[in-house]
Structure 1
Amino acid sequence: MVSRVIPVDPFDLVLFGATGDLAKRKILPGLFHRFEVGQMPPEARIIGSARTEMDAEAFRQSTKDAIEEFTPDSPNRAKTLAAFLERLDYVTVDVSSDQGWQDLAQVLRPDVVRAFYLSVGPSLFADIAGRLHECGLATPDSRIVVEKPFGRDLASARALNEGLRACFEEHQIYRIDHYLGKETVQNLMALRFANSLFEPLWNATHVDHVQITVAESIGIDGRGAYYDQSGAMRDMVQNHLVQLLCLTAMEPPSKFTPNAVRDEKVKVIEALDPVEPADIARGQYRADTGGDSYRDHVGNSSSSTESFIAMKVSVANWRWSGTPFYLRTGKRLRARESEIAVVFRDPPHTIFPNVGRLRGNVLVIRLQPDEGITLRTTIKDPGPGGLRLSEVSLDMSFADALGADVRQQDAYERLVMDVIRGDQTLFMRGDEVEAAWAWVDPIIRNWEETGDQPAAYDPGSSGPEEALMLMHRDGRRWRHIGG
């Protein structure tokens, strides 16, 4: 099975921070894959930019090394890669000074889409936007892409938005969250709004609760300085998990257009009740045998930053009143696993003799590691000897359903091409970001004011006991991480 690839218009993509880790691991390999399948037109160009002094040939060699390291081999890759590298150029730019901006202006074409991808620290977003505006590089058809973290609180997010909007219109600003580019996340919308089976049941009358889990088996090795200033709440909940919650809980948009979808997501965030301290469990992983603890990794023996968080969240609207959403994310957990589990209510009555309590169906949308959808159902055990019931899962793995030869796109591939197309559906709008921070800020402020300390948990576990009790007191259980 071969997926249909729609070419995009010719473009100039300027990649600020082109020598950085994200560019090498994700952005440049993703662009190569889009070129490989024929989505990138021959006139397209990718212009790397950073403070590092190098010429275009050195940048091509660096990109070649990155693609060979971070992408699987494929037939005729050498020939395809050579053709891709011909589309690359490089301009040395010091974003904090006047150096290089006129050189960049000289290589940009006036008659194609311009996209400026800021793969740099958020402290540079407004400065780069301002320079692009001052130098006349930000044309009416230009787009600017910014990576998270988009602020560390409501005040800084507003300041960033104001800095970007001083130079670009809102429809030109693409706040990227790579979780929204995952195939299964988009399939959640297809599952809800392209099928008549689930949407009539997608409400508090039929859904007992929803679990959203983003578990990572790795620690914060190499990211200690950043992470200790951020923590799981700022790094994961405020953006990734809130976005997954929005897509799960939102009302059907009137149309599948960027603003219609994002309007409904904002309504969900604005409907979130404040979270009581008793409905939050924070954790920090301790040392394991021969390993380092969180505090060892960050070099701070008294750090109170959380590497794990679990929350019970209420969406105060007609659709979801009385149905809690449980969010959970953490480092050094049992396995790398991300999923959305919609747990339906138990059948109200059983007609079967000698059968105990029947459990409700569970619809699981797996984001990683194996993207797919499963539905837990109850059936009769085959064979004679009376009627016996058992639970089985109807499992649709994308690899199995679509064919092993269909390579799943990396999220960055899809999102970068959406930027070129001018499609903002999978990107966060400014008011959406600010609404999320307005909900998160009081939680963080309460921790700081009360001196709240995260509970210790063992690496390779499911998190601290407090997270388990968060569910147990409601008569529920977390789904098992790692199978």
Structure 2
Amino acid sequence: MVSRVIPVEPFDLVIFGGTGDLARRKILPGLFRRFRAGQMPEGSRIIGAARGNLETSAYRDLVRGGIQEFGGSESSDGDSLAAFLDSLQYVSIDATGEGGWQSLAGLVRPDVIKAFYFSVAPSLFGALAERLHMHGIADPESRIVVEKPFGRDLDSARALNHTLAEHFREEQIYRIDHYLGKETVQNLMAVRFGNILFEPLWNNHYVDHIQITVAETVGVEGRGEYYDKSGAMRDMVQNHLMQLLCLIAMEPPAQFEAGAVRDEKLKVIRALRPVPAHHIVRGQYDADGDQPSYREEAGNPRSFTESFIAIRAEIANWRWSGVPFYLRTGKKLRARHSEIAVVFKDLPHSIFEGDQARHRNILSIRLQPNEGIDLTVTIKEPGPGGMRLVDVPLDMTFATALGEDGKDVPDAYERLIMDVIRGNQTLFMRGDEVEAAWAWTDPLIAGWERRNDVPKLYDPGSAGPDDSLMLLHREGRRWREIKG
């Protein structure tokens, strides 16, 4: 199956931090795949900008190595790779000084779409925004892309929004969350709002609870210093899990348009109830044999930072009143596994007896690995011997349904970058969304800091601390298994 190609106009994309890890692993390999798909029109250019003093030829060699390492099987297309590399330029630039800005101004063309990707530390966002305007490089139609973390609390997020607003309008700012670019996340909206089957059931009359899990097998590794200042709440819950919660819980927007979608997401965040202390479980992975503990990897022997968090949240509105939303994320867990599970209620009356009566429909949206959606339904087990019921999934794995081995399904970064070029903000966070998320998150963090809570230790390769099981067990529920 070949993806439908939607053409875009020629563009200049400047990647600040163009030699960094994110650019090498995700941004540039993703752009190469879009180039091969015909979505980089002739004359489009990519300009890497970083502190290193490189010639363009050396930068192209660096990008070639990144694409060959992270670009998958498509990187073996030598002719396409050579043509793509021809579209690359490089400029050495001082983000907080004046070096290189005149050179960049001479490279960026006035008559094409201009986008600027801030793949740098947030502390540099303001300096970059200011200099883009000071040197006449950006114009009223230019777009900027900013990576997380977007602040570390409400005050810093407001300050960052204010800094960017001094130079760019809100409709020019694209706050990127790669989770929203995943095929499955977008299909969640298609399933909800494109099928009459589900929307009538999407409420507290039929849904028992919803689980959102993002589990990782890796530890903090080389990110220890950053992670120890952030933790799972700031690193994952405030952005990734919050956005997934919004998409699963929001009201149908009037139309599939950026403003309408983001208005509904904002309503969900503002309807979140404060979370009491006994509905939060924080954990920290311990050492295991030759595997170091979190504290060892973070380089902080007295760290109280969480590498795992589980939260029972509630949304105070008509649709979801009384329905718990269980959020869970952590590092060094049993498997790499991200899923949204909508668990429907039991039948009001079952004609079957005993264990045969206890079956529930579950809609599972898998984000990784093996992106897809399945619906667990109850059927009779084949064969003689009476009415024996079993649960089976109606499975749509995208790699199977949408192309051999999933080759035709774009990576999240590919999709989101091309949305920037098209000027489509639907899958990007708005400034007031970010601030509302921090307004809900900050009191939770302040609460455990005030109580001097210590994270519970858990074994690497487990499902997290045992206390997290009680969030559900005390209400007669259980977490879905973390599996790869």
The verdict on a shared fold, with TM-score over 0.5 as the criterion, is yes
Cα gap change, 1:67 to 1:142, in 2 (>3 Å): same
Instruction: Give how far 1:403 is off.
Output: 3.0
CA distance in 2, matches of 1:48, 1:168: 21
Contact persistence 2:68–2:76 (CA under 8 A)? no
Query: Does residue 301 of structure 1 match 2:301?
Result: yes
Query: Does residue 78 of structure 1 match 2:78?
Result: yes
So what's the TM-score if we normalise by structure 2?
Answer: 0.98
Instruction: Give how far 1:426 is off.
Output: 0.3
Q: Deviations over 1:321-368 (max 9, x none)?
A: 000000000000000000000000011111135654322200000000
**Residue type of the alignment partner of 1:427:** F
Contact persistence 2:16–2:49 (CA under 8 A)? yes
**Residue type of the alignment partner of 2:38:** G
The aligned residue for residue 278 of structure 1 is: 278
3-state SS in 2 of match to 1:373: strand
The aligned residue for residue 414 of structure 1 is: 415
Query: Does residue 341 of structure 1 match 2:371?
Result: no
Query: Does residue 61 of structure 1 match 2:61?
Result: yes
**Residue type of the alignment partner of 2:455:** P
Q: Deviations over 1:195-251 (max 9, x none)?
A: 000000000000000000000001000000000000000000000000000000000
Q: CA RMSD in A?
A: 1.0
The aligned residue for residue 192 of structure 2 is: 192
Q: Which moved more, 1:315-324 or 1:445-454?
A: 445-454
CA distance in 2, matches of 1:43, 1:158: 38
Please list every run of 5 or more consecutive structure 1 residues that lacks an aligned counterpart in the other structure: none
Query: Does residue 326 of structure 1 match 2:326?
Result: yes
Contact persistence 2:75–2:81 (CA under 8 A)? no
CA distance in 1, matches of 2:405, 2:358: 39
Contact persistence 1:3–1:406 (CA under 8 A)? no
Task: Map 1:143-162; keep pairs closer than 5 Å.
Answer: 143-162=143-162
3-state SS in 2 of match to 1:24: helix
Instruction: Give how far 1:421 is off.
Output: 0.2
Contact persistence 2:188–2:365 (CA under 8 A)? yes
3-state SS in 1 of match to 2:74: coil
The aligned residue for residue 456 of structure 1 is: 457
3-state SS in 1 of match to 2:404: coil
3-state SS in 2 of match to 1:289: coil
Q: Deviations over 1:412-470 (max 9, x none)?
A: 00000000000000000000000000000001111111111100000000000110011
3-state SS in 2 of match to 1:203: coil
Instruction: Give how far 1:406 is off.
Output: 4.5
The aligned residue for residue 97 of structure 1 is: 97
3-state SS in 1 of match to 2:370: coil
Q: Deviations over 1:385-419 (max 9, x none)?
A: 32221111111111111231541211000000000
**Residue type of the alignment partner of 2:428:** F
How many residues end up aligned between the 2 structures? 483
CA distance in 1, matches of 2:406, 2:179: 20
So what's the TM-score if we normalise by structure 1?
Answer: 0.99
Task: Map 1:403-442; keep pairs closer than 5 Å.
Answer: 403-404=403-404, 406-407=406-407, 408-442=409-443
The aligned residue for residue 178 of structure 1 is: 178
3-state SS in 2 of match to 1:223: helix
Contact persistence 1:338–1:369 (CA under 8 A)? yes
CA distance in 2, matches of 1:76, 1:150: 36
3-state SS in 2 of match to 1:117: strand
**Residue type of the alignment partner of 1:381:** E
The aligned residue for residue 370 of structure 2 is: 370
CA distance in 1, matches of 2:159, 2:354: 64
CA distance in 1, matches of 2:214, 2:418: 26
CA distance in 2, matches of 1:321, 1:210: 13
Contact persistence 1:2–1:406 (CA under 8 A)? no
